[in-house]
Each structure stands twice: as structure tokens, then as C-alpha cells.
């Protein structure tokens, strides 16, 4: 029911009001008051039923504005999540890199003394190097057999450069020898200073008898 239908349906009541309009000193009959109130309510309800279409026509931009605002919020949330995931991946990458086994740097040296077979029991230890200038080295003389990483050191020199006089080397733990023994096989190991035995390659040599 629209606004015009209400007036058509209540034409008699409207005509009565127009023909005899009430004055302030004349009481309006209760039946007429009830009819007027019914007409007012029906008219408001009819108007209210039409209001959604009116609102949608008068304010078409509101949904789109809200949609764009929602889109911006969603986009901002997505960027935040991406940044969080990126930070997590970077952290995992750093941790993984730290946990990966590292290849130990090795001294880039070529032994020049002693030779493979010598008769001197106190040989000079000398080498050439391709390492950075001023690089210091640790030198071990070890027995010929066994794992060179665990073999007991017979003579040691720490933080030195080539050449190293044998007499400047210190005997290993619990040793009192001051020279090598004829007829014995040995290994000399030259490593980067303070990098451990993994930072070098052992070279065998033999002290022959006269």
C-alpha cells in the first residue's frame, strides 16, 4: 500500500476533516482521533517501506567507500603478514647458515725443508706460502703413524713464520728430547696459527742413518 492508496481508502475521513475542521475549543470525537492515528501510522509505514530504495539512490557511494576501506584494511593486513613471514624466513636462514658445517681454512704452503729423506736430526723447517702477507703459522712434528689430528706432538712451534730453526721448537708433553732420531719416520704439519691441526696438511719425511 502506497501513500495515495491510504488517502483513497480513507477518503470519507479526510473529507469530514476538511468540511468541519476542529477548533481548539471543540473536542474531537475519539473515533475520529483513532482513525487519524491509524492513517498517520499507515502513512509512516508506507514511507518507511520505500526508504531503502531512496537511501540506495541518494547514497550510492557508501557501500563502495566501505568496500574500498575494507579492501585497504585487508591489503594492509596482507602486507603485515608478508613482512612477518619474511622476517621469520630470514631468521631461519640465518640460523641454518650458522648451523651449517664450515670448511676449515687450510694453510696454502709448500714445504721446502726438510726433504723427504734427511740425515740432520735437527733440520730447519721452511716453506713457501700463498697466504696473506704476514700470516703466522703453527708447526708440529709428529710421529709417522696414526691420525695426525690426535697423534702426540713431538716438537711444537706456535705463531711463527718461515724458516723455523729446530732448536727453537719446544718438545711435546712429557718429552725431553732435543733432536729427532735417526732411522725414524716423521711428519711435519704446518697450519694457520691458532686454527688447529685441521688447518694444514701433514708431510712425511725420514731421518736416515749415516
DSSP string, 93-125: HHHHHHHSPPPPP---EEEEES-SEE--SSPPB
Residues 51 and 117 in one domain: no
Residues 53 and 128 in one domain: no
Q: Which residue has the cell 469530514?
A: 16
Q: In this structure, is residue 121 part of a structural domain?
A: yes
Q: Which among 58, 76, 100 is the end of a domain?
A: 58
Residues 119 and 35 in one domain: no
Residues 119 and 202 in one domain: yes
Instruction: Give strand pairing partners of 204.
Output: 187
Q: Yes or no: say if 202 and 185 are a contact pair by the CB < 8 Å rule.
A: no
Residues 202 and 114 in one domain: yes
The model's pTM is 0.52
DSSP for residue 87: H
Q: In this structure, is residue 100 part of a structural domain?
A: no
- Give me the residues of the chain with pLDDT under 70, please: 1-37, 39-40, 43-44, 46-77, 93-104
Residues 39 and 126 in one domain: no
Residues 54 and 116 in one domain: no
Rounded alpha-carbon distances, angstroms, from residue 190 to 41, 153, 160, 201: 106, 12, 10, 7
Question: What pLDDT, on a 0 to 100 scale, did the predictor assign at position 53?
Answer: 45
- Taking alpha carbons only, the member of 142, 136, 124 closest to residue 199 is 136
Question: What pLDDT, on a 0 to 100 scale, did the predictor assign at position 51?
Answer: 46
Q: In this structure, is residue 21 part of a structural domain?
A: yes
Residues 42 and 118 in one domain: no
Q: In this structure, is residue 45 part of a structural domain?
A: yes
Convert the pLDDT of each residue in 33-88 to its tens digit.
Answer: 566 667 667 766 765 654 444 444 454 454 454 445 455 555 666 777 777 777 77
Question: What pLDDT, on a 0 to 100 scale, did the predictor assign at position 41?
Answer: 74
Domain housing 197 = 109-207
Residues 120 and 200 in one domain: yes
Question: What pLDDT, on a 0 to 100 scale, did the predictor assign at position 66?
Answer: 44
Q: Yes or no: say if 138 and 156 are a contact pair by the CB < 8 Å rule.
A: yes
Give the chain's domain count.
2
* CATH number, position 139: 2.60.40
Residues 48 and 136 in one domain: no
Q: In this structure, is residue 85 part of a structural domain?
A: no
Amino acid at each position: 500500500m502506497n501513500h495515495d492508496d491510504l488517502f483513497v481508502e480513507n477518503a470519507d475521513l479526510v473529507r469530514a476533516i476538511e468540511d468541519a475542521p476542529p477548533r481548539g475549543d471543540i473536542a474531537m470525537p475519539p473515533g475520529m482521533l483513532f482513525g487519524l492515528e491509524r492513517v498517520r501510522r499507515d502513512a509512516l509505514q508506507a514511507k518507511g517501506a520505500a526508504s531503502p530504495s531512496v537511501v540506495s539512490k541518494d547514497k550510492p557511494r557508501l557501500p563502495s567507500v566501505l568496500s574500498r576501506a575494507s579492501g585497504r584494511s585487508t591489503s594492509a593486513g596482507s602486507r603485515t603478514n608478508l613482512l612477518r613471514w619474511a622476517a621469520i624466513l630470514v631468521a631461519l636462514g640465518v640460523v641454518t647458515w650458522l648451523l651449517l658445517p664450515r670448511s676449515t681454512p687450510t694453510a696454502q704452503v709448500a714445504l721446502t725443508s726438510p726433504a723427504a729423506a734427511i740425515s740432520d736430526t735437527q733440520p730447519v723447517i721452511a716453506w713457501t706460502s700463498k697466504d696473506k702477507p704476514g700470516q703466522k703459522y703453527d708447526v708440529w712434528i709428529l710421529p709417522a703413524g696414526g691420525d695426525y689430528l690426535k697423534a702426540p706432538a713431538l716438537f711444537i712451534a706456535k705463531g711463527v713464520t718461515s724458516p723455523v730453526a729446530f732448536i727453537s721448537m719446544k718438545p711435546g708433553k712429557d718429552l725431553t728430547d732435543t733432536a729427532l732420531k735417526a732411522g725414524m719416520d716423521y711428519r711435519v704439519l704446518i697450519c694457520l696459527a691458532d686454527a688447529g691441526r685441521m688447518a694444514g696438511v701433514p708431510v712425511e719425511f725420514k731421518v736416515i742413518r749415516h
